[in-house]
Copies of this chain bind each other. A is one copy, B any other.
Amino acid sequence: MIELDRRQLLTGAAGLAAATALAPLWPTGATAAVPLAGAQAPGFYRYKVGGFECTSINDGARSFPLPDKFVTNVPKEQALAAAQAAYMPAGMVTVPFNPQLINTGAKLVLIDTGNGAAALGPTKGAVGRTLQNLAAAGVDPRTIDAVVISHLHPDHTNGIRAADGTLAFPNAEIMVPAKDWEFWMSEDNAAKAQSNEMMKNYFANVRKVYAGIESKVTRYDWDKEIIAGITTVATPGHTPGHTSFVVASGSDKVLLQSDVTNIPEFFLRNPDWHVAYDVDPDTAQKTRHKFYDMAAAEKATVVGFHFAFPSIGHVEKDGAGYRLVPVTWNPTL
């Protein structure tokens, strides 16, 4: 009865009622059945870059039936085979999302923001978790000094808004690629895109997300150290202003690739495959080869927004493509 009493203390009245009802059925063990937790561990992972403390923040992962033209330039069967080879659920593709938090010691910087808290919900998929995983990591969103957006696609930029539409990071400067801002805010471009449902939605989304806050937005150029230790790298194609980042401190650095590939199981192994979301797939393909040839030669640590959490690894040449060697989870810093 000592065990039962302790369990009652732990679980309260509901536990007491359940325990009483179940008591006659218990096996001879010392304790009652422990309820299932029913939730995953927090999705954050810290890593050092010189004196910087970085945190990979999981916004979630979305599994959905593989669209016919997810990969635009190979038969669907090839894409399905790649999904199966990666042990994705049958007929589905799984896309993870991982913003990165950089604490330089002077500035707290969030690079990309995920799908937004409004995307979170039982019927909307398992994404939009950036704010809850930041909270799990002990980060108050009001302490973030800068939000840097790699490109203006919804899964990167929508997280600047909380579920109620207010600014999720109210004290942060919002920094966007000048070339992407120019492209997506152009009324000419928006008008031309009306016949393409996906592009039409993207143009509308950018307008909705940035409505009324244009004055908080700073536009950045390529090859600039936009924050001490964070330098922009031109990786166009996925979008006209798509940007990667070198995060460097002391003699240490990592490459934040953003969307040089979408999921590596498809587009790193097959760098000539084109994902449906590319604005200029041929340029994206050239960027991909250039970026990974460099990363492989340097044995650079690469962080990928769409890599499986914690989304960090090394890229190696592998035949005509590349392979990702994920980092080994480090239990200490």
Report if A103-B34 is in contact (Cβ < 8 Å); known contacts: A309-B331, A328-B96: yes
CB A148 to nearest CB in B, in angstroms, measures: 14
Q: Which among B10, B88, B129, B171 is the interface contact of A30 at CB below 8 angstroms?
A: B171
Using a CB-CB cutoff of 8 Å, which residues 91-119 of chain A contact chain B?
94, 96, 103, 105-108
Q: Which of B29, B37, B60, B88 contacts A145 (CB 8 A)?
A: B29
Q: A134-163 interface mask toward B, CB cutoff 8 Å, 1 = contact, 0 = none?
A: 001111101111100000000000000000
Q: Does A279 contact B (CB under 8 A)?
A: no
Contacts of A309 in B (CB 8 A): 328-329, 331
CB-contact partner of A143 in B34, B45, B88, B136, under 8 A: B34
Q: When each residue 298-333 of chain A gets 1 if its CB lies under 8 Å from chain B and 0 otherwise, what string results?
A: 010000000011100010000000000111111111
25 A-B pairs with CB atoms under 8 Å apart are: A7-B143, A29-B171, A30-B145, A31-B143, A31-B145, A36-B105, A37-B53, A37-B137, A37-B138, A37-B333, A38-B333, A39-B46, A39-B332, A40-B330, A40-B331, A41-B44, A60-B331, A61-B328, A61-B331, A87-B314, A87-B327, A88-B328, A309-B328, A310-B329, A326-B326
* B40 engages A333 (CB within 8 Å): yes
Q: Does A43 have its Cβ within 8 Å of any Cβ on chain B?
A: yes
Please tell me if A234 contacts chain B, counting CB pairs below 8 Å. Answer: no
* 0 or 1 for each of A14-45: is its CB under 8 Å from B? (1 = yes): 00000000000001011101101111111111
Q: Which residue of chain B is the closest to A106 with respect to CB atoms?
A: B33
CB distance from A28 to the nearest CB of B (A): 10
Residues of B within 8 A of A332 (CB): 39-40, 60, 126
Number of copies: 2
Which chain B residue lies CB-closest to A263? B328
Q: Which of A40, A330, A331 has the most CB of B within 10 A?
A: A331
Instruction: Number of A interface residues at 8 Å Cβ cutoff, please give it.
Output: 65
**How far, in angstroms, from A42 to B41 measured CA to CA in the complex?**
8
* Residues on A facing B (Cβ under 8 Å): 3, 6-7, 10, 27, 29-31, 33-34, 36-46, 53, 55, 58, 60-61, 86-88, 94, 96, 103, 105-108, 126, 129, 136-140, 142-146, 171-173, 299, 308-310, 314, 325-333
The answer to whether A108 and B39 touch across the interface, beta carbons within 8 angstroms, is: no
Closest to A27 in B: B106
Tell me, rounded to whole Å, the shortest Cβ–Cβ distance linking A55 to chain B. Answer: 8
B34, B41, B44, B88: which contacts A45 (Cβ < 8 A)?
B41
Select from chain B the residue with minimum beta-carbon distance to A326: B326
Partner of A33, one of B10, B45, B105, B314: B105
Complex contacts, A129 vs chain B, CB 8 Å: 331
A138-B37, A143-B31 known; A43 vs B308 contact (CB < 8 Å): no
Which residue of chain B has the shortest Cβ distance to A61 in the bound complex?
B331
**Cross-interface CB contact of A329 among B96, B146, B173, cutoff 8 Å:** B96
Give complex CA distance A60, B329 in Å. 9
8 closest Cβ pairs, A-B complex: A30-B171, A309-B329, A308-B328, A36-B53, A126-B332, A29-B145, A60-B331, A34-B108
